[in-house]
Amino acid sequence: IRGMGPRVLLVRMGRLSYADALGLQERWLRRLQAARGPGAEAGALLLGEPAGPAYTAGLRGGLEPGEEARLRALGADVRRTGRGGLATFHGPGQLLAHPVLDLRPLGLRLRTHVAALEACAVGLCRRLGLPAALARPPPYTGVWLGDRKICAIGVRCGRHITSHGLAMNCSTDLTWFEHIVPCGLVGMGVTSLTEELQRRVTVEEATDPFLEAFEEAFQCTLTLHHEDSD
């Protein structure tokens, strides 16, 4: 993978449950918190695809207790997370990108980190032929095509270290979103790369252009992480 600037490890999680993705994120958070010092990498980009349906609530809530039971009855996992924002859906056909980064070697603050994540999603859309994709300011944080949201963004940051990130709808079954008000935005729609391009776009197809966009937005070099190098 090409790039310049600080080194960020690329961790390909593959298909896994959202709960397992959160567990892996916690391990990388602890690793990065312990590794601070000269020569330490800027962190890791955890990339994967949820293996099953999951609804998550952010720091501002978004799911009532009765609603949680209703969503579980649909066969979905329901989790409260420490990211910003309200309720959203994660599931198969979605590119999940969780950068666990120390913002200081990257020269970023939380606001510019969120802007870089937005630029990744916009860059991916443009590389695949959707030049109209735009990031919008709060409360519409994320990337949109008109009034349809294609990418949700929600991050957590503590002591300069970030977690959580973005979820890009590639070939996601969008009917799952009908059971909630995504991110608390009434009257707004959701969409996917597959829906917009009128052909099936898999997470696999979206991955390489996303990685290019990530290196460009974060001005970093991605290096593939091998588990046996821990």
Query: Known catalytic residues?
Result: 183
Question: How many whole angstroms separate alpha carbon 58 and alpha carbon 86?
Answer: 5
pLDDT in tens, 209-228: 999 999 999 999 999 998 75
Q: Please check if 58 is assigned to a binding site.
A: no
Q: Please check if 214 is assigned to a binding site.
A: no
Task: List the Cα angle 212/214/215 in 5-degree steps.
Answer: 70
Please report the domains of the chain, with CATH numbers, ordered by start residue.
Answer: 7-224 (3.30.930.10)
Average confidence (pLDDT) over 184-193: 80
The pTM of the full predicted model, rounded to 2 decimals, is 0.93
Do 139 and 154 form a contact (C-beta atoms < 8 A)?
A: no
Provide the residue type at 49 as one letter: E
Percent of the chain exceeding pLDDT 90 equals: 73
pLDDT in tens, 36-77: 655 567 999 999 999 999 999 877 666 777 888 899 999 999
Query: Is residue 136 scored above 80 in pLDDT?
Result: yes
Q: Please check if 226 is assigned to a binding site.
A: no
Q: How many CB atoms sit inside 10 A of residue 105's CB?
A: 18
Mean pLDDT is lowest, of 73-77, 111-115, 137-141, for 137-141
